[in-house]
Structure 1
């Protein structure tokens, strides 16, 4: 092949203009008379899209691009300008392992039967083909850096956690000084373990010494190594999951006196079922000063993580991969920072169930938002379609490609979320206007919120006679999304 290329690169001997013109006319006349077509060079095969799959742990929608004026997230905001921002995206289960097991298998939690943090999904679905495994099976280089399947945080940082080895060609498990310096973390809720505590630490040193900094650097290294072959690169950041650890410079972005606590109203919980509450007592008894500390630390961790996302976007641009790489950024669930007296996840209020979701497609629509209700389970069929791969049959989600082409396209699909509270389930359906939730199939209470007039979910309408028909309509829609619950 090299000799052939050398030959065709040789310059032809110089011919007189008339001779060259005459030869060309004779050749064209011959082709026309004989009906033969000129030989054309073979069309270059279309290059496969790469996928950069960015997972963020415990990130809610407190981002600049989602309208939070305080939080500084310039790099995620940059990604939003490059693609579609989904304003109503929802987790299927606001807890790490159930959510990730659902997204990565393409099945709902009632199909994976993963409702807690210990059971591996392959115990229940031994033969399932995961999303990264689909790409691996189709000759993509599939790699994981950091947390994609479930890890206990911070306990399992630096290990494989509940990883799925068959999904990857390569895995990397960085461990930074945030793990080494855990003893310096300040725990505002000392009766709670660090993985579920309002705890923080403004660290010395640089970004590159922290686990998420190491994750970003390893991802850039792999992008450099694999830039000439199709890849599915899954990059899982640990922050802002608690404990909220970030270098001091990110804390400096948020003076305590500028932290605005979420709005609360008197007697807010009087019409809320007891089962709906995860944080008991409200705020775990913390006063305003300590809550400001926790919220500041959470925001600092977001800005630190955002800077690591910036490293990835810069590398795509530098390596000229931007024009051939689908970029997805998602969080496994939302996060309460004091709304209704609640903190963290494991509730079905909007702040816990709603997630940030950004998708950038080469040559696609840029800088637009979609207000359609979508789900994390929709990512599997979406990425399969974008990359021309045959997805397994029976996936629970629906491809978002129509919305990536037209963010306001007709779309009637609601979003479903659920959580387990000891022995009972809470199940919720979200349309563009309404959220309806039943606890223990309604036996432990129900909630109905009108997001058109009550976006903070302060008024539960479920027991009001004027909304009886609405409750009936949404209960039918809820039961349609959870058929196994009615068996």
Structure 2
């Protein structure tokens, strides 16, 4: 009788819980390569998109790992967290802040982390153990330590161009005939499948963080072989006419330390871009393993699936490599939500969205109480009706220098605040100490989606600029530091 009572209690608890959450993250993923018909070969992401609401205009809050992920996972903007660099753990200045997985954990969910979710290399604290019901797996590492792990002799690197640089312990580009599990993401997928089996009979929030397509570009050879590099999209490296120097950065993530930089040859550029696409297809194969496991579990129709990237990425556009700008290439992210019941599967929405919105969205969709202090807005109404638009603008920011924590005084010299409306991107670069505007950018996305002409001083768009400036200053009033 006691066993029967316990079984009924457990069954009632599961029935009372909201849907499960499979929370999938990627690193440095360009959103246009997550869409149907893109040049990237992504059959598994395509099948996820076919069951998702796809946000075509979703934006990160800062285009670098730690500020973006900390913002998204706490539902608070970088300025609220006082966090704009990779080297500061979000709890150093916000010790009691609630995170998305912690909120689910406190409301009856088993929360697990496999792979890179929080940024966790430069910071003193590693991950956020209190957010999870068990220890994190492969959450703390350096991308440059992702060396191929194989039994027996290591197959040769089949890269043809001279390596532009070493990416810590590995070449920037590497092509070896090794199994998927030789690198981080193959092991992340295998562990995610294992953990899913462990939690499948509980209300679960399973976060799976893939390390790709972030550099180094070292997917196994079979993913390089999917592409003919001569048929990849052409590169336009032109800088935007009239853009201020503050808008740019030194591309150190890809090109290396400034004093050691050499400009890549045409062959090296082709190799890097090819490797980025190979990384995407490698990641996609790992995603497929996790989606397959969920389907086989019988719980797919009880599980919300989200797929997001932490920020975008430049592959030579605007003469930039990597991220850390406010341009559309860096600010815009892939963002999909698949409802448990399958409603609105395969639809696209033009509704503006921000990563900071994901916390309140999942809370509402799972029927949990809403925590106080979140900066984002729930997008549950858009997932219910993709024709709705609940936000007038999305905001991204970035300091200069891009990695100011490496500077002697450890503080920015300027901060760029950027607003994206349905039609334009407007950016103000402000002196960090005084709050004075020192440079402006305005890009007309109706006619210039690649942001190749700064129209901030163009007399033809004064009202558009004024409206965007009002939105920006309402969210980020100029302040002195």
Contact (CA 8 Å) 2:240, 2:451: kept in 1 or not? no
Counterpart CA distance in 2 for 1:113 and 1:93 is 12
Counterpart CA distance in 2 for 1:442 and 1:188 is 43
Contact (CA 8 Å) 1:178, 1:210: kept in 2 or not? no
Cα deviation for residue 472 of structure 1 reads 1.8
Equivalent residue for 1:276, pick from 223, 244, 247 = 247
TM-score under structure 1 normalisation?
A: 0.84
TM-score under structure 2 normalisation?
A: 0.85
Cα deviation for residue 354 of structure 1 reads 0.2
Size of the aligned set, in residue pairs, is 441
Report the CA distance shift for 1:237/1:100 in structure 2 as closer, same or farther (over 3 A).
same
Report the CA distance shift for 1:432/1:3 in structure 2 as closer, same or farther (over 3 A).
closer
Q: Residue 437 of structure 2 corresponds to which residue in structure 1?
A: 443
Cα deviation for residue 66 of structure 1 reads 5.2
Q: How does 1:26-37 map to 2 (within 5 A)?
A: none
Q: Residue 211 of structure 2 corresponds to which residue in structure 1?
A: 238
With 205-214 and 365-374 compared, the bigger mean Cα shift is at 205-214
Q: Residue 372 of structure 2 corresponds to which residue in structure 1?
A: 393
Report the CA distance shift for 1:272/1:322 in structure 2 as closer, same or farther (over 3 A).
same
Equivalent residue for 2:173, pick from 196, 200, 203 = 200
Counterpart CA distance in 2 for 1:136 and 1:217 is 23
Counterpart CA distance in 1 for 2:119 and 2:47 is 28
Counterpart CA distance in 2 for 1:477 and 1:357 is 23
Q: Residue 137 of structure 2 corresponds to which residue in structure 1?
A: 173
**Does the alignment pair 1:91 with 2:60?**
yes
**Does the alignment pair 1:258 with 2:231?**
yes
Greater fraction helix: 1
Counterpart CA distance in 2 for 1:3 and 1:376 is 44
Report the CA distance shift for 1:225/1:280 in structure 2 as closer, same or farther (over 3 A).
closer
Report the CA distance shift for 1:64/1:146 in structure 2 as closer, same or farther (over 3 A).
closer
Contact (CA 8 Å) 2:241, 2:453: kept in 1 or not? no
Q: Residue 423 of structure 2 corresponds to which residue in structure 1?
A: 433
Cα deviation for residue 209 of structure 1 reads 2.7
Alignment deviations for residues 83-124 of structure 1 (CA, whole Å, 9 cap, x no partner): 100000000000000001100111000011111111111111
Equivalent residue for 2:463, pick from 435, 457, 469 = 469
Q: Which structure would you say has the larger Rg?
A: 1
Counterpart CA distance in 2 for 1:94 and 1:194 is 22
With 268-277 and 325-334 compared, the bigger mean Cα shift is at 268-277
Counterpart CA distance in 1 for 2:295 and 2:4 is 34
**Does the alignment pair 1:456 with 2:450?**
yes
Q: How does 1:339-418 map to 2 (within 5 A)?
A: 339-363=317-341, 364-418=343-397
Counterpart CA distance in 2 for 1:162 and 1:454 is 42
Contact (CA 8 Å) 2:53, 2:348: kept in 1 or not? yes
Contact (CA 8 Å) 1:145, 1:171: kept in 2 or not? no
**Does the alignment pair 1:247 with 2:220?**
yes
Q: Report the 3-state secondary structure (helix = DSSP H, G, I; strand = E; otherwise coil) of the residue aligned with 2:427.
A: strand
**Does the alignment pair 1:295 with 2:273?**
yes
Contact (CA 8 Å) 1:95, 1:346: kept in 2 or not? yes
Alignment deviations for residues 294-319 of structure 1 (CA, whole Å, 9 cap, x no partner): 01001100100011111111111101
Report the CA distance shift for 1:89/1:280 in structure 2 as closer, same or farther (over 3 A).
closer
Cα deviation for residue 199 of structure 1 reads 1.4
Contact (CA 8 Å) 2:251, 2:322: kept in 1 or not? no
Q: Report the 3-state secondary structure (helix = DSSP H, G, I; strand = E; otherwise coil) of the residue aligned with 1:330.
A: strand
With 395-404 and 444-453 compared, the bigger mean Cα shift is at 444-453
Q: Residue 113 of structure 2 corresponds to which residue in structure 1?
A: 144
Counterpart CA distance in 2 for 1:484 and 1:443 is 8
